[in-house]
Structure 1
Amino acid sequence: MSTSLTPGQHALLESELQLARRQAHAALQAQRDGGDRLDHAAALVAEDPRELREHEADRELDQIRDAHLVAELQAIDNALERLKQPGFGRCIDCAAAIPFDRLQRQPQALRCVPCQSAAEAAR
């Protein structure tokens, strides 16, 4: 089943996904560089248990941010792979065309709005 995307829309989505990938990758790199500095700071204040707890909490937040960015990169990479397939832009649940304005706002979207709402309600 082919999509209803024009070649120009397809190219625009690919460009937006590539930009989002570069931005997410840069954010992940910055996050990981910041984590290295945080680990070094924690080692310096290890003798004060209160400061160590604060640094551990910061490290946990960094790990959560890291995991979020990794998941975002994976979603972008998956969307770039799907973009190469003829069915890109079709809902994975009902096979209806996902409106271009939705894809433009969220190119990683797998579902049309009604199916996404139903999937979220089922959680």
Structure 2
Amino acid sequence: MSTALTPAQRAELGALLIARMATLEEEIAAQEGAGGRVAAAAELLDDSREGGVQREADREVALQRTSQAHGELQRVRDALDRLESPGFGLCSACGEAIGMPRLQAKPWTRHCVACERQMELGQPTPPRL
């Protein structure tokens, strides 16, 4: 049985989404900022010296973090776009309400805990009725 979110709950989740979006944008800006590009260029010139392998590994980790942050930022923006739609807060797999504690922790989520767990295990989710 699905239940609609109250206006107060939507406002709370909207504030959480906006705060997370600001945090992610700051993280991305710091990771991609001019200082980061200058340091990366300097490291490229220095790669022939000792420690080049470690610096390459560090760059790969930084690129992965930036990629993950971009992905999460897109999910947060998508959630903000959906926030006022009637289906926001309902699992996109089974149609049941996503618990408010889960939405408070991860307001961009599209799945309830049960469906998320099934997907992580590679099992099919129940058909949406």
Question: Taking structure 1 as the reference length, what is the TM-score of the superposition?
Answer: 0.88
Unaligned runs of 5+ in 2: 124-129
Say if 2:21 and 2:76, in contact at 8 Å, map to a contact too: yes
Aligned to 2:80: 80
CA contact (8 A) 2:91 2:111 kept: yes
Cα distance in 2 between the residues matched to 1:28 and 1:122: 31
Q: TM-score, normalization: structure 2?
A: 0.84
Residues 3-55 of structure 1, C-alpha deviations (whole Å, 9 max, x = no match): 5211011001001100000001001111112531431331442441x333222
Instruction: Name the structure 1 match of 2:58.
Output: 58
Structure 1 stretch displaced more, 14-23 or 29-38? 29-38
Maintained 8 Å contact 1:3/1:87: no
Shift of 1:97: 1.0
Unpaired stretches in structure 1, ≥5 consecutive residues: none
1:1-123 to structure 2, matched below 5 A, reads 3-33=3-33, 35-48=36-49, 50-122=50-122
Of all paired residues, the percent bearing the same amino acid is 36
CA RMSD across the alignment? 1.8
Determine which structure has the larger helix proportion and give its number.
Answer: 1
Superposition deviation, residue 62 in structure 1: 1.1
